[in-house]
Amino acid sequence: MTSLPITLETEKSLFFHNYARLPLAITHGEGVWLVSDDGTRYLDMIAGIGVNALGYGDKRLIDAISEQTAKLIHASNLFMMQPQFELAAKLLELSGMSKVFFANSGTEAIEAAIKMARKWAGQFGDPEKKEVLSLSNCFHGRTYGAMSLTAKAKYVDGFEPLLPETGMIAFNDIADLEAKVSEKTAAIFVEVVQGEGGIHRISQEFIDRLKELREQYNFLIVADDIQAGCGRTGKFFSYMHADADPDMVCLAKPLGGGLPLSAVIGNSKVEDVLSYGNHGTTFGGNPVACAAGIAMIDAIYTDKLMENAATVGAFMSDALNKMAAKHPQILEIRQYGLMIGVTVDKEAKYYVTKALEKHVLINATSVNVIRLLPPLTLSMEEAQHCLTTLDEIFTEENATAAATATEKSF
93 and 65: one domain?
A: yes
97 and 37: one domain?
A: no
Work out the mean pLDDT of the chain and round it to a whole number: 96
Q: What is the pLDDT of residue 382?
A: 98
By the 8 A CB rule, do 393 and 351 touch?
A: yes
Tens digit of each residue's pLDDT (9 = 90 or more) over 21-51 = 999 999 999 999 999 999 999 999 999 999 9
pLDDT of 95 over the 90 cut:
yes
Q: Which residues contact 406 (CB under 8 A, 6 or more apart)?
A: none
Q: What is the pLDDT of residue 378?
A: 98
CATH code, domain carrying 369: 3.90.1150.10
∠ CA 191-226-167, rounded to 5°: 45
Tens digit of each residue's pLDDT (9 = 90 or more) over 274-321 = 999 999 999 999 999 999 999 999 999 999 999 999 999 999 999 999
∠ CA 312-316-322, rounded to 5°: 150
Tell me the mean pLDDT in the region 134-157. 94
Domain span at residue 13 reads: 8-57+304-409
Percent of the chain topping pLDDT 70: 98
289 and 196: one domain?
A: yes
**138, part of any domain:** yes
**231, part of any domain:** yes
CATH code, domain carrying 140: 3.40.640.10
**1, part of any domain:** no
327 and 186: one domain?
A: no
pLDDT of 1 over the 70 cut:
no
**393, part of any domain:** yes
Q: What is the pLDDT of residue 2?
A: 59
Q: What is the pLDDT of residue 21?
A: 94
87 and 212: one domain?
A: yes
51 and 140: one domain?
A: no
180 and 254: one domain?
A: yes
95 and 198: one domain?
A: yes
Q: What is the pLDDT of residue 91?
A: 98
Q: What is the pLDDT of residue 327?
A: 97
Tens digit of each residue's pLDDT (9 = 90 or more) over 192-206 = 999 999 999 999 999
Q: What is the pLDDT of residue 410?
A: 59
Q: Which residue has the higher pLDDT, 122 or 402?
A: 122
**2, part of any domain:** no
Rounded Cα distance between 32 and 13, Å, is 31
369 and 249: one domain?
A: no
Question: Does the predicted TM-score (pTM) go above 0.85?
Answer: yes
Q: What is the pLDDT of residue 237?
A: 98
pLDDT of 406 over the 80 cut:
no
Nearest CA among 50, 408, 43 for reference residue 229: 50
Tens digit of each residue's pLDDT (9 = 90 or more) over 237-264 = 999 999 999 999 999 999 999 999 999 9
Tell me the mean pLDDT in the region 200-218. 98
**68, part of any domain:** yes
Q: What is the pLDDT of residue 400?
A: 87
Residue 233 binned pLDDT confidence (cut-offs 50, 70, 90): very high
By the 8 A CB rule, do 167 and 137 touch?
A: no
DSSP, residue by residue, 271-302: TTS--TTSS--SSTT-HHHHHHHHHHHHHHHH
Last residue within a domain, chosen from 263, 278, 302: 302
pLDDT of 108 over the 80 cut:
yes
3-class DSSP state of 409 = helix
**294, part of any domain:** yes
Residue 151 binned pLDDT confidence (cut-offs 50, 70, 90): confident
Q: How many domains does the chain have?
A: 2
**171, part of any domain:** yes
204 and 269: one domain?
A: yes
Percent of the chain topping pLDDT 90: 94
**Element (DSSP H or E) covering residue 326:** none
290 and 358: one domain?
A: no
Q: What is the pLDDT of residue 221?
A: 98
Helix then strand then coil, in percent of the chain rounded to 5, is 40, 20, 40
Last residue within a domain, chosen from 285, 302, 319: 302
Tens digit of each residue's pLDDT (9 = 90 or more) over 348-364 = 999 999 999 999 999 99
pLDDT of 61 over the 80 cut:
yes
52 and 146: one domain?
A: no
Last residue within a domain, chosen from 302, 336, 367: 302
Q: What is the pLDDT of residue 152?
A: 86
∠ CA 264-266-272, rounded to 5°: 115
Strands (E) in 127-227, as ranges, are: 131-135, 166-169, 185-190, 193-194, 200-201, 220-224
